[in-house]
């Protein structure tokens, strides 16, 4: 077998093993990284191998999982000692090579018992100890689950390679930014247990950004345009350049200085990149780099009137901050060409740019276009409303930060525009809540239950069925309450068990309570305390120890693009009075109902089942 044959089989084996380990999903980044460690003997250049890897992955991806497993075994069994040693090494730390053939040690794979069980793909060209990532939110709103995904990925990679994470507030649009948003983002990251190495504001670098603007103009890579905004839009759409493009460097520099000095009104002129008006990529058709915005900046006041756009800021700040790997969502895909063009023109260091898909759930959009109007119109009162995907809303709902982290890592890095089910997040959250949540009883739309006799006037109930979380004493009498949902299923002669109390037989339904109230009452007799798996078990609350209680159940805000009017259900009923002893914010599980977070002294928010 030639070296090149071995290389091809190596790629296939790694790709197939990756698919088997990750639910039939081949992750190109992982395959490329692992292949590099075994490519040192190949006569091909490292960079020339990547297209071959992608071609093999593309072909193998078409196979169903069972055929991948068969092919994997076939290659492994027919291979020589070289590939068998390779297979033994697949799950071990590997050495990868960057474009200069420098070897970089990859961190060891985390054990399944680790807090971070899910492993992100390894980075190409990453040097252990020298990786720098950045999270650049604009402080123009409250952080949501989409921000959490980006921030967690940025931090995980910095952690993975013992590098640095920069929190950079992209605050160059003064009319949209508020101090409360800076604070909300910082608190959201703190709640997620994300600790950046450096915190900065893009607006701190305004003088530096002006200087780079001058450099672009001096190199004739940018010009000042005084065309009407509507004309600019039409010309860009039709690929027509304007006469402003013909002005010389000195003219443009003079105009630029006047813009900085505040001698122009808003929309009177802009600075544009000298791109290609014939480009199929519309982002390269002389895009805007600076524009005049008259408004008070939350941190700088009225000090500046000329503000850079994200297209200008992102590459320069990444270059200045020493970012090695810049992650951003797929929506910026067309702007990548401009990103690298600006870096090249200014002779700045080029980071590795990695894209991933946005994150939102079906029916729970993260778009400000859909969320902000709900707040502005008063349909939703607060940004921490549990129906919202904001971090404040998720926290109030009872979603734990570590569940969000594990959920994000389980999705890994992908460009596919899928909306994962919120049930996946709930499954991670459930595992965290189960061992810390006290079990209590709640009955919705309570129905009186009269029992002929009870042998006790109080009982002890464990606060958790399997863990040592203490016990509570509940006083009981012959009048109890059960949920209307359970009452509707009962008929005379049925036997049910009142959990932790006794078994009863239903003697009568809909009898008078004897007080002329007209309330529905169920009569039953105590038939002992023998526990049987064949008897239905229902929760109850004691008349002596119950409090009025309500539970708010968030539902999807939208059905498709249509606002869902029934996005909040309020269940009213009775809870054990013991709940009044718990702190606001405590997590509990109402038996046979679901996990909830105590919101105030008389209500809780439904988290999930």
60 and 139 co-located in one domain: no
d(CA 32, CA 119): 15
Q: pLDDT band for position 2 (50/70/90)? A: low
Predicted structure pTM score: 0.80
pLDDT beyond 60 at 102: no
Check whether residue 282 and residue 373 sit in a common domain: no
Query: Would you say 132 and 325 are in contact if contact means Cβ atoms under 8 Å apart?
Result: yes
User: Quick one: average pLDDT of 306-322?
Assistant: 97
User: Which ranges constitute the DSSP H helices of 167-240?
Assistant: 179-191, 206-218, 229-238
pLDDT mean over 504-519: 74
Same domain, 383 and 500: no
In a shared domain, residues 418 and 464:
no
For residue 115, tell me if it sits in a domain.
no
> Can you give the pLDDT at residue 547?
97
Structure tokens at 502: 């006794």
What was the pLDDT predicted at 37? 52
Picking from 481, 384, 443, 448, the residue whose alpha carbon sits closest to that of residue 143 is 384
Q: Is residue 391 part of a domain?
A: yes
Cα 153 to Cα 77: distance, rounded to the nearest angstrom: 37
Q: Which pLDDT belongs to residue 96?
A: 28
One domain for residues 424 and 468: no
Residue 210 sits in the same domain as residue 343: no
Residue 484 lies in a domain: yes
Q: What is the pLDDT of residue 49?
A: 76
How confident is the prediction for the chain on average, in pLDDT?
88
Q: Which of 354, 355, 359 is nearest to 410 (CA)?
A: 359
Query: pLDDT-derived band of residue 53, with 50, 70 and 90 as boundaries?
Result: confident
Domain of 463: which CATH number?
A: 2.40.240.10
Residue 6 has, within 13 A of its CA and on its CB side, a CA count of 18
Residue 119 domain flag: no
- Are 443 and 483 a contacting pair, CB within 8 Å? yes
Q: What is the pLDDT of residues 420-467, one digit of tens each?
A: 888 999 999 999 999 999 999 999 999 999 999 998 999 999 999 999
Task: Specify the CATH number for the domain of residue 289.
Answer: 3.90.800.10
- pLDDT tens for each residue of 348-398: 999 999 998 888 888 888 888 888 888 889 999 999 999 999 999 999 999
On whether both 140 and 195 belong to a single domain, the answer is yes
Sign, CA dihedral 382-388-389-392, equals positive
Model confidence at 3: pLDDT above 70: no
Confidence of residue 134 (pLDDT cuts 50, 70, 90): very high
**pLDDT of 59 strictly over 50:** yes
Q: 421 — phi, psi (to 5°)?
A: -70, 140
CATH number of the CATH domain containing 402: 1.10.1160.10
**pLDDT of 199-242, one tens digit each?**
999 999 999 999 999 999 999 999 999 999 999 999 999 999 99
d(C-alpha 186, C-alpha 551), whole Å: 30
Question: Residue 540: inside a domain, yes or no?
Answer: yes
Nearest CA to 566 among 576, 578, 553?
A: 553
Residues 501 and 578 in one domain: yes
Measured over the CA atoms of residue 385, residue 376, residue 366 and residue 168, the dihedral's sign is negative
- Is 193 or 109 the better-scoring residue by pLDDT? 193
Residue 267 pLDDT > 90, yes or no?
yes
- Please indicate, yes or no, whether residues 139 and 190 belong to a single structural domain of this protein: yes
pLDDT at 371: 87
Statement to judge: residues 410 and 557 lie in one domain: no
Pairing state of beta strands 502-511 and 541-542? unpaired
Identify the pLDDT of residue 22: 66
Residue 362 lies in a domain: no
Q: How many domains does the chain have?
A: 5
Q: Is there a single domain that holds both residue 333 and residue 375? A: no
* 123 occurs within a structural domain: no
Q: Is residue 110 included in any domain, yes or no?
A: no
> What b/e string do you get for 420-433 counting C-beta neighbours within 10 Å, with b at 16 or more?
eebeebbebbbebb
Q: Which domain holds residue 375?
A: 368-433
Q: Looking at residue 145, which CATH number applies to its domain?
A: 3.40.50.620
Closest CA to 209 of 319, 69, 337, 87: 319
Q: Which residue has the higher pLDDT, 514 or 301?
A: 301
Same domain assignment for residues 473 and 601: yes
Q: How many residues does the chain have?
A: 609
C-alpha closest to that of 395 among 144, 59, 136:
144
pLDDT exceeding 90 applies to what percent of the chain?
69
Collapsed DSSP state (helix, strand, coil) of residue 82: helix
- When pLDDT is cut at 50, 70 and 90, the band that residue 496 belongs to is very high
Nearest one of 292, 259, 287 to 275, comparing CA atoms: 287
């Amino acid at each position: 077998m030639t070296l090149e044959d071995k290389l091809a089989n190596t790629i296939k084996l790694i790709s197939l093993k990756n698919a088997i380990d990750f639910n039939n999903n081949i992750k190109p980044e992982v395959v490329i990284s692992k292949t590099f460690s075994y490519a040192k003997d190949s006569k091909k250049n490292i960079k020339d191998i990547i297209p071959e890897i992608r071609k093999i992955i593309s072909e193998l991806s078409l196979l169903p999982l069972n055929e991948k497993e068969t092919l994997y075994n076939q290659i492994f069994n027919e291979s020589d000692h070289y590939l068998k040693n390779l297979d033994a090494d697949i799950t071990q730390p590997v050495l990868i090579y960057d474009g200069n053939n420098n070897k970089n040690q990859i961190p060891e794979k985390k054990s399944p018992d680790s807090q971070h069980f899910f492993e992100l793909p390894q980075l190409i060209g990453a040097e252990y100890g020298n990786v720098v990532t950045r999270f650049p939110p604009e402080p123009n709103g409250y952080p949501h689950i989409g921000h959490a995904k980006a921030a967690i990925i940025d931090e995980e990679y910095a952690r993975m390679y013992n590098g640095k994470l920069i929190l950079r507030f992209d605050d160059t649009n003064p009319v949209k930014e508020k101090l409360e948003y800076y604070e909300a983002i910082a608190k959201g990251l703190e709640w997620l247990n994300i600790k950046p190495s450096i915190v900065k504001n893009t607006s701190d670098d305004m003088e530096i950004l002006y200087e780079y603007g001058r450099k672009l103009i001096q190199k004739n890579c940018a010009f000042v345009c005084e065309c009407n905004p509507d004309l600019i839009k039409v010309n860009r759409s039709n690929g027509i350049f304007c006469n402003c493009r013909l002005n010389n460097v000195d003219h443009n520099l003079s105009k630029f200085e006047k813009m900085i000095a505040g001698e122009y009104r808003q929309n009177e002129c802009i600075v544009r990149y000298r791109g290609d008006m014939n480009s199929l990529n519309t982002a390269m058709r002389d895009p805007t780099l600076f524009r005049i915005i008259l408004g008070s900046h939350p941190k700088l006041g009225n000090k500046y009137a000329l503000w850079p756009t994200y297209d200008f800021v992102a590459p320069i700040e990444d270059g200045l901050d020493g970012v090695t790997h810049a992650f951003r969502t797929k929506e910026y895909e067309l702007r990548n060409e401009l990103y690298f063009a600006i870096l090249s023109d200014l002779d700045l260091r080029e980071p590795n740019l990695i894209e991933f898909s946005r994150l939102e759930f079906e029916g729970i959009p993260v778009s400000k276009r859909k969320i902000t109007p709900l707040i502005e119109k008063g349909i939703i009162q607060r940004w921490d409303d549990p129906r919202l995907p904001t971090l404040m809303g998720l926290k109030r709902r009872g979603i734990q930060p570590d569940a969000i982290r594990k959920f994000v890592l389980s999705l890994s890095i992908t460009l596919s525009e899928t909306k994962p089910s919120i049930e996946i997040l709930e499954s991670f959250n459930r595992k965290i809540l189960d061992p810390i949540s006290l079990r209590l009883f709640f009955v919705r739309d309570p129905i009186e239950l009269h029992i002929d006799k009870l042998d006790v006037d109080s009982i002890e109930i464990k606060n958790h069925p399997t863990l040592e979380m203490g016990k509570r004493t509940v006083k009981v009498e012959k009048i109890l309450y059960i949920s209307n949902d359970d009452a509707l299923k009962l008929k005379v002669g049925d036997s049910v068990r009142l959990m932790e109390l006794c078994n009863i037989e239903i003697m009568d339904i809909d009898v008078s309570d004897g007080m002329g109230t007209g309330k529905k009452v169920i009569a039953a007799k105590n038939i002992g305390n023998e526990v049987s798996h064949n008897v239905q078990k229902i929760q109850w609350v004691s008349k002596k120890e119950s409090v009025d209680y309500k539970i708010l159940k968030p539902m999807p805000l939208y059905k498709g693009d249509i606002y869902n009017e029934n996005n909040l259900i309020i269940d009213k009923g009775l809870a054990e009075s013991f709940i009044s002893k718990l702190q606001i914010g405590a997590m509990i599980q109402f038996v046979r109902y679901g996990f909830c977070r105590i919101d105030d002294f008389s209500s809780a928010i439904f988290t999930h089942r």
